[in-house]
Amino acid sequence: MTAVLALMTSLMWGLADFGGGLVTRRMSALTVVVVSQSLAAVALGVVVVATGGWSEIGPQLWFAVAAGVVGPIGMLAFYKALALGPMGVVSPLGAVGAVAVPVGVGLALGERPGWVQIAGVLVAVSGVVLACGPSVGGAPVARRTVGLTLLAAFGFGSVMALIEHASSTMTGLFLALFVQRVLNVAVGGAALWAATRTGTKALPADGSAGLRAALPTLALIGLADVAANGTYMVAAQHGPVTVAAVLASLYPVVTALAARGVLQERLRAVQTAGAGLALMGTVLLVAG
């Protein structure tokens, strides 16, 4: 069950990233984050009221609060790093960070994966790095870019490590995800407001009409992200975090394959090899 849910997580995160990348071509990335998360928060609010999720309020929600604050910071650092440095360096480092933090927490809490699973982790992580198309050679990467990338990696991994502790029941899961989204909107909204003060356009080139036209896509992005967080939370609670985190972090492979299938983007040889390694690592993790 852990493997299936974690793979579902990677599928939904990968598709959400692909959709977000498409929409970001027409409007600010901050606008995409704020609007998609706002729509997801509204949907989750309705679910929380309908299921009586408010009764699950307790100290464990502080994990959701922390995830809601750290997540947007990591995302904004990632976008800035992508703008400053080579994507072939930034993207793999960000993906590996999403694995390293929750796996490290799992090991610290006493998880001891078998040798087959350890091999699966190494193979799958190598596949994710290669699937991102790492750059070989070129100019040195600026320290600021490396710092932002490491901050983003820590943020992504921290969200995965925090969210699994935010609830132990299904109604509590809905409440935790709602709280996380509200904080995402608050932090992202503050960043968007600050950006507009420096000249960033919040709306697309065709104004509010373009934003309205993109609302269905933005809603799907937000809901896919919510669903991915939910399936990951359940996966991590019902199985080894070392397995759940690695399988959930295969989302860059999904994004690359979606770009190949929809946009006809050609995969480089290193990316194709990475996808194959990621699949091999998945098999080892499931078998272990």
Question: Mean pLDDT score of the chain, rounded to an integer?
Answer: 80
Which of these, 67, 68, 69, 95, lies nearest to 82 by C-alpha position?
95
**Helix %, strand %, coil % for the chain, to 5?**
80, 0, 20
- Whole-prediction pTM value? 0.78
CA–CA dist 235, 196 (Å, integer): 39
Average pLDDT (175-186) is 92
The CA distance from 211 to 35, in Å, is 9
Q: Is the pLDDT of residue 268 over 70?
A: no
Residue 197 structure tokens = 């003060």
Q: Are 16 and 254 in contact (CB under 8 A)?
A: no
Distance CA 107, CA 231 (A): 21
Collapsed DSSP state (helix, strand, coil) of residue 158: helix
pLDDT of 232 strictly over 80: yes
Q: Which carries the bigger pLDDT value, residue 262 or residue 32? A: 32
* Amino acid, res. 169: T
By percentage, how much of the chain surpasses pLDDT 90?
19
For 193, the token pair is: 């407001």
37-69 pLDDT, tens digit per residue, is 999 999 999 999 998 888 888 898 999 999 999
Q: Which pLDDT score, from 0 to 100, does residue 159 have?
A: 84
Q: Does the pLDDT value for residue 98 go beyond 80? A: no
Q: How far is residue 120's CA from residue 280's CA, in Å, rounded to a whole number?
A: 8
Stronger pLDDT, 270 or 148, i.e. the higher one: 148
The residue written with tokens 């299904």 in the block is 170
Give start and end residues of each alpha helix (H) in 164-268: 170-197, 207-237, 241-248, 251-262
From the CB of residue 142, how many other CB atoms can be counted at a distance below 10 Å? 12
Structure tokens at 78: 């990632």
Sequence-distant (≥ 6) Cβ neighbours of residue 18 within 8 angstroms: 254, 255, 258, 259, 262
Please give the pLDDT value at position 44.
Answer: 93
